[in-house]
Structure 1
Amino acid sequence: MNQAPAPNTSASSAPDLRGQHQSLRICLVTETFPPEVNGVAMTAGRVVNGLLAAGHKVHIVRPRQPEEDRAHLASFADLPTTLVHGVGVPGYNGIRFGLPAGNALERAWRHQTPDVVHVLTEGPLGYSAVKTAQRLGLPIVGGYHTHFDRYTEHYRFGFLRQTVTNYLVRFHNRCHINLAPTQELAQSLMQQGMKEVRVMSRGVDRSLFHPQHRSTALRTQWGVGKDDLVLLCVGRLAAEKQLDWVVRAWQAVRQDKPYSKLVLVGGGPEYQRLASQYPDVILTGPVSSHDLGAHYASADLFVFASMSETFGNVVQEALASGVPVVGFDYAAARELIHHDVNGVLVPFGDQQAFIQATVQAASQPAHLRQMARQAAETGRSWKSVLQDLIANYHDAIDLASIVDHRTQGSPHAHSTQNVP
């Protein structure tokens, strides 16, 4: 395979501020949204809040969530939203795929044409949104958030991995611009044949994630003394997170530090199995965003064995909380961890090295934690991330406008007239 050119990262390295004060109509299509707890839902919520704060108009298209009437959606109660039917993802309770809604989307978009369609997920709903937007000549921005092809290995569908990879490439090549969270991933996606891949990193809220939120009361609740060690992992309790590796690393640590505790924060399909198989592990279940910062800051070491992340927001949140991280050398860990300074990087996929690195880090937690606190400003603000996103929206509008002029007669031609 020929070497792909370096991804266009100009939007993320030097924000293009043209049009930042021009109000855009943005349709955000996503198959997961707060209060669902996962990285994509968190990113969707942050993006929506940031766009609204910047004066843009946002319309959400998403599946109706289970027990929708009881879901805590107060923060987005006034947000224009189109709900579609969804089906549960086999083996992954709490997450739903939206069913195709092309006809409904076409009627809505012909009635009120968005300036740009941002599709965050590649499920049936996302695919129907991309096809419909393409047919109407609308600018399309695609977000690459999840390695669905890697997930096939964890859910006994490994034989479909290449088929899923090909589908993802075709999906994103219908978009004018695609956004990946790291330059490493953008390069990899383009080598697979994906076009117009740019870097849009992730931000961290330093008011929520900060060392000052360390809580003696919470540590007492966990049953640890002042000098006892707490290992932490935050995220969906699912097969692709390699949580058994985290437990084995903690068990190795306990050989020298018998009073150490492992705290797993989150819910998911693996919750019951983990609770049954490892009764000494503290399982908190889902934790509200208001309390999450205290959970991070009250730990001493963040242990992250997942190898399926496109970024890994939890790594950035742990570091911002002043907690050193043990993680594999890729994605957010590669970008943010300074080896043996604010954490430990482990060769990708090496389970024994991961366990040994955790034991090593646990033997010097005070040193690593001090260095992690000094580097707690690691990571970008969401404000700067949103500036990049808006610049990419304008670039997508420009690219769609070029196609409109070639094809003549797209219903979206009018919405690009004010773009510089």
Structure 2
Amino acid sequence: MTPRKISIVTETYVPDVNGVAISLRHLIDALVRQGVAIQLIRTRPRSAWTPVVEEIGCPGITIPMYPELQMGLPSRRRIEAAWDSFKPDLVYLATEGLLGNSGLKVAMRRKIPVLSAFHTNFHRYSSYYGLGWIKTLTLSWLRRFHNRTGGTLVPSDEIADLLQQEAFERVQVLPHGVDCDLFSPQKRSETLRESWGVTPDQQVLLYVGRIAAEKNIPLAIAAYEKARAANSELKFVLVGDGPLRDSLEKEHPEIEFAGVQTGETLSQYFASADAFVFPSVTETFGLVTLEAMASALPVVAFDMAAAHKFVESGSEGVVAEVDNDDAFIEALESLLSSDISQLGRQARIKAESLSWDAVATQFISIIEDELERRGQASSSTLRTLV
């Protein structure tokens, strides 16, 4: 049986450290395990990286305000050459930049079925950088881009509803999964906790993500300070980097700023904390929420994205009304007055049902439906494999 051949076009991928890159890596790994042949067309990595599937590197430029990310440049000829050789059954556009747009144009010209992904809450991001005036223009571009594909995949019901209200067509939900072998309470490290200056009995709050305005970090710090007034031994560890790190680190010497962590080291940071604090209101999903839950950390977050779908107050953590800062602060106070260990165990149980293999199976089903819609289904279907 000939496996399906999927070409994925993206402007971010590992070794980049962000939710889109990491979730795409997990999805690709799961698809390969299920017999899908993958070709990856991406911006060239700027640090050492050993590919695990066929990769075609394309030029990119640094994105303002996001120096760790690149915007892919138009690469029609590279894409045409790649597809001449690979002959994909379907193209998956994981990002909507210039590189993705090149992929869309070539696929349309060659009549190759296309699916796209929507990962960024542009309407919320713009307000944090004083760019609210571009919201309408950005949405217009995104709507035109995605509506020319066979379907747009989003990670949550909330984003699906938002896009449908903005006249995006053929929107489907494909949630993220989590690696429960990598992220596990078994990775807890007392040596790491000692480096934070805490004893085995002290409670540690953890944030993982970009240290930037759109992540709402000052609210997390305000919630921590309120909780610390009642428990002076409470510790807060922030993992990540970004434009606010230097100033916040100077203002708050009592907080541990750990920088960017990945892989096994990141899993130790998760497992060595006691609760996860995530104040962002710009997420389309928030993969770190599931990574925290897999690590047996109860979650404090706004009632949106992954937290809305997977965290029930009093069960896997505490969720707060969206955009209500006082409610978020109260949510942390409520969590800390609860049995954190029990909530963490329940969070782990919930995470164990959210595997990337299950996500890949759903993705394959969406692919087959699109190929059938386009009249290109064949006897080489993968449905018998999953």
Which of the five TM-score ranges fits, normalised by the shorter chain? over 0.9
State, as a whole percentage, how many aligned pairs show the same letter: 36
Deviations 1:299-318 (A, max 9, x none): 11111000011111111111
Q: 1:116-146 CA distances to partner (integer Å, 9 max, x unpaired)?
A: 1111111111122112211211111111111
Does structure 2 conserve the Cα–Cα contact (< 8 Å) formed by 1:232 and 1:262? yes
Aligned to 2:330, which of 339, 348, 356?
A: 356
TM score, norm. by length of structure 1: 0.86
- Matched letter for residue 334 of structure 2: Q
Change (3 A) 1:383 1:417: closer
Question: Displacement of 1:55 after TM fit?
Answer: 2.2
Residues 314-350 of structure 1: per-residue CA shift (max 9 Å, x gap): 1111112111111101111011111122211101011
What one-letter code is carried by the residue in structure 1 that aligns with 2:344? A
List, as ranges, runs of 4+ consecutive aligned residues in structure 1 with deviation greater than 4 Å.
Answer: 415-420
- Tell me the alpha carbon deviations over residues 260-287 of structure 1, each in whole angstroms, 9 at most, x when there is no partner: 1110112233332322232221111111
Q: Counterparts of 1:123-202 in structure 2 under 5 Å?
A: 123-202=97-176
- Alignment partner of 2:363 out of 381, 389, 410: 389
Q: Please report how far the alpha carbon of residue 416 of structure 1 lies from its aligned counterpart in structure 2 after TM superposition.
A: 4.9
Bigger mean CA offset, 208-217 vs 324-333: 208-217
Matching residue of 1:61:
41
2:211 is equivalent to residue 237 of structure 1: yes
SS at match of 1:340: coil
Q: What's 2:348 paired with?
A: 376
Residue pair 1:201, 1:385 contacting (<8 A) in 2 also? yes
Higher relative contact order (CA 8 A, sep 6+): 1
Alpha-carbon offset, residue 150 of structure 1: 2.2
Aligned to 2:277, the other structure's residue is in SS state: strand
Whole-Å Cα distance in 1 between the matches of residues 62 and 28 of structure 2?
A: 24
Name stretches of at least 5 consecutive residues in structure 2 with no aligned partner.
382-386
Matched residue SS, 2:35: coil
Determine the C-alpha separation between the residues in 2 that align with 1:99 and 1:206. Answer: 36
Secondary structure at 1:228 match in 2 = coil
Give the Cα separation in 1 of the matches to 2:83 and 2:380: 19
Contact 2:317 2:347 (8 Å CA) reproduced = no
State how far apart, in whole Å, the 2-side matches of 1:22 and 1:142 are: 24
Equivalent position of 1:409 in the other structure: none
SS in 1 for 2:149: coil
Counterpart of 1:41? 21
Aligned with 2:265 (options 271, 291, 295): 291
Q: How far apart, in 1, do the equivalents of 2:83 and 2:245 lie? A: 41
Letter paired with 2:342: Q
CA–CA distance in structure 2, aligned partners of residues 147 and 174 of structure 1:
20
Match of 1:347 in 2: 321
- State the partner residue of 1:6: none
Alignment gaps of 5+ in structure 1? 1-20, 402-414
Task: Tell me the residue number matched to 1:110.
Answer: 84
TM-score (normalizing by structure 2): 0.93
Q: Which residue of 1 aligns with 2:250?
A: 276
Aligned to 2:229: 255
Q: Over the residues paired in the alignment, what is the CA RMSD in angstroms?
A: 1.7
Asked if the contact 1:264/1:281 (under 8 Å) is kept, the reply is yes
User: Is this contact kept in 1: 2:298–2:347, CA < 8 A?
Assistant: no
In the alignment, is the contact (CA less than 8 A) between 1:237 and 1:243 conserved in 2? yes
Counterpart amino acid of 1:282? E
CA contact (8 A) 2:206 2:273 kept: yes
Q: CA contact under 8 A between 2:125 and 2:282: conserved in structure 1?
A: yes
User: How far off its partner does 1:112 sit?
Assistant: 3.4
Q: Is the 8 A contact 1:326 1:343 kept in 2?
A: yes
Which deviates the most, 327-336 or 275-284?
275-284
Deviation, structure 1 residue 51: 1.8
Q: What SS class does the counterpart of residue 377 from structure 1 fall into?
A: helix
